A and B are shown apart, each in its own frame.
Chain A
Amino acid sequence: MKAIIIDDEILARGIVKEYLQHYPDIEVVQECGDGFEGIKAIQQHGPDLIFLDIQMPKITGFEMLELVEQPPAVIFTTAFEEYAIKAFEAHAIDYLLKPFSRDRFDKAIKKWQQQNPQERQAETAKLVSVPDISPNRQNRIVLKDNGKIKIIPTANVQYLEAADDYVKIHTAEGVFLKNKTMAFFEQTLDPQNFIRIHRSFLVNAHLISRIEPYEKENHLAVLSIGVKLPVSKSGYSKLKGVLGI
C-alpha cells in the first residue's frame, strides 16, 4: 500500500510518518509541502491513501483534491477547520484533529482498511462535490488549464455557462473549463454577486448594464462587456430581487 503525506509543516508530516511505522504494509512514497507538489505526486505514484492538511500555501487541501482525477482515499489532518468538519462528518472519510493521539490515528487507519476500494472512491468524490466548505471558495476558483494550476478570483469572472459535464468560466483572459455542475457554483459563489439567470447561465451581477425584453415573456441581460445572455422567467425574478428593480 502506498501513502503520500501532504502538509506544509515538516513536524506535522513527521508525526504521521512516525505513527505509520507501526504499519509495515503502508509505505510513505512521498512527502509534500503544498498542494502543487501533492497533485504531481498523486499522479506519479497513484497512492492508495493520502494524509492531507487543509490550510496550505496557495491552494487548500480541498482545492487540490478537486484538481486530481480520481482522487485516492483521504484522511484529513487539520488543526481547526470549522467549515471542513461539517463536510467530513457527512462522509465516511476520516479526519484527525491536530494534535491527535496514536489511538485516534489507529482508528482512522482501521476505518480506511475496512472500506473497499469502490467505497473509498465514491466517498472522496462525494466530498469533493460538497459546495461551500470553506470561505475561500467564495472568492476564487481553482482549476487546471493545460496542465497548469490556475487561481481565478471570482471578481474576474464574467459569467459561467453550462457545457455538458463541465462549466465554462468566462473571464477577460479567456474561457476556462471546470468539471463541476452549475448547481455547485450557484451554491458556492456569493448570491449577491452571481445570479443564476438561466438554467445554463450564472452571471456576475456587477457586469449587467441593462435588461431587454425578448420575444414574448423572456428577457435578455446585456453585459457591459457586450455579451447578451438569455434570462428565464425565474431568472428574471431573481434578478429583480438582487438588483432591486
Chain B
Amino acid sequence: MTNSIVTGNRFRISFFSWWLIWSMVHALVINSYGAGLLQSLADSLLCNLLLAACCLLITNNMKYYLPQKERYWYILIMSLVLSGLWLLSAKMLLKLVFRSDENYLQLLTNSTAIRYVIGFLMTGCMAMMSLLWYTLQEQQEANRRKEEAEQMTKDAELLKLRQQLQPHFLFNSLNSISALAGTQPEKARHMVQQLSDFLRGTLKRDEQQWVTLEEELRHLQLYLDIEKVRFGQRLQTDIEVMEAAGNMHIPSLLLQPVVENAIKFGLYDTTGEVMISISANAENNQLHIRITNPFDEETAVSTQGTGFGLASIQRRLFLLFARHDLLHTSRTGNLFTTRLIIPQYNHESNHH
C-alpha cells in the first residue's frame, strides 16, 4: 500500500501555510480593486476554503485511482471540471451573502475569468504534484520488489554453493579423522590439513572465476586424497592430461562436482574396486575432459533417476555458454563416461 501524500506533517504545514499566504494575497488584491475589508476577507476565506477542499479531494482521489494511460488528459479534464464547479458554488454563495452590495457584485462578475484561471491552475498543480508523488511511490515499491527478488536469487545461488560442499562428504571425513585420531594421530593431523586446504580452496573460489585446468586439478587432487583415505584401496584414480590442455581454462569448481558424481556413482553402484579415470586434451581450441566410472548395468537405472547429479552442471554450462551440447554421458559395457567440452573463447574478459 502506498503512503498517502496528506499524512506527512511536512505536507500539512506547507499546505496550510500556502493557503494562508494565498488567502492574504487574495484578500489584498480584491481589496485593492475596491471591495470593502469585510467583503475581501469573506471572499478570500470562502473561495480558498472551497479550493483547498477541492485540492484535497483530487489528491485523495488519486490515492485510490492512479490513471495509467492518458493520465495528463485525466488531470486536465478533472481540473477544468472541478475548478468550474468550485467557481460556480463560490460565486453563488458570495452573491447570496452580499446580495445588496452592487459594487462588490460587479467586481465578482468582472473577475470570473481570472478566478477560473487561478482555480484551474491551483487544482491542476495539485493534481500534477499528486500524480508525481504517487508515481514515485509506485516506482519505489516496484524497485523494492525487484531488489527483493534479486536478493532471493542470490540467496538461492549461495545455498546451492553451500550444498556443493556436500555435508555427507564433510561429516564422513570428520568421522574418518575421529577414527584416525585414536589409532594414528599423525595421519589424523594430515587429514585435517588436507580437509582444511580443500575447504579453503572451495570457499575462496568464486563461481564466476576461470582457472587453468592445472589449478583446478590441484584442487581436485586434495578432494581425491581425502576420498582415498575414506575408501582406501577401493578407490583408484588415474589422471592423464595432455600438455596443451593443462594451460587451458575452465570455470572454477566445475570439474570437482562431476568427479564427485562419478565417484559416488561408482562406489555405490558396484562392490569391489572402483577406478575413476580423468583425461583431458585440447581439440579445436576447446578443452575436452573425459571422466569414466564403473557401473552396473542392471541396477544403474534405479539409482536416482537418470541425471546422476549432473543436472546442475548442465545448467551452469548453459548459463556460461548458452549451449546445451557441452555435457555428454554414455554407457559402454560396465563403464559410464561423462564428457565435458569447455570452449576457450571469452574467458579473458571474465578472468578476475
Contacts and interface: CB of A to CB of B under 8 A. Distances in A.
Interface of A: 8-12, 14-15, 18, 33-34, 36, 55-58, 79-80, 97-100, 135-136, 139-140, 151-156
A66 to B, nearest CB: 15
B175 A11 contact: yes
Interface stretch (B38-46, B84-92, B144-152, B227-235): B227-235
A18 B268 CA distance: 26
B179 interface: yes
B231 A12 contact: no
A178 B263 CA distance: 31
B302 A151 contact: yes
A55 B180 contact: no
A14 B232 CA distance: 13
A12 B168 contact: no
Contacts of B167: 79-80
Nearest to A16: B179
A102 B119 CA distance: 88
Contact of A155 (B168, B298, B301): B301
B14 interface: no
Contacts of B298: 151
28 contacts: A8-B267, A9-B175, A9-B230, A10-B232, A11-B175, A11-B179, A11-B180, A15-B178, A15-B182, A36-B271, A57-B270, A57-B271, A58-B268, A58-B299, A79-B171, A79-B172, A80-B167, A80-B171, A98-B172, A98-B175, A98-B178, A99-B177, A139-B303, A139-B305, A140-B299, A151-B298, A151-B302, A153-B299
Contacts of A97: 171
Given A55-B268, A58-B269, A9 B172 contact: yes
A223 B250 CA distance: 50
Given A79-B171, A80-B167, A11 B176 contact: yes
Contacts of A152: 302
A139 B302 contact: yes
A11 B230 contact: yes
B279 to A, nearest CB: 25
> Top 5 closest A-B pairs, CB basis?
A140-B302, A98-B175, A79-B171, A15-B179, A11-B179
Contacts of B330: none
B183 interface: yes
A99 B167 CA distance: 12
B233 to A, nearest CB: 9
Given A58-B270, A151-B302, A99 B178 contact: yes
B90 to A, nearest CB: 69
B224 to A, nearest CB: 16
A9 B176 contact: yes
Nearest to A60: B268
Interface string B33-74: 000000000000000000000000000000000000000000
Interface in B292-316: 296, 298-299, 301-305
A145 B299 CA distance: 15
Contacts of B271: 33-34, 36, 57-58
Contacts of B268: 55-58
Interface in B156-190: 167-168, 171-172, 174-180, 182-183
A151 B303 CA distance: 11
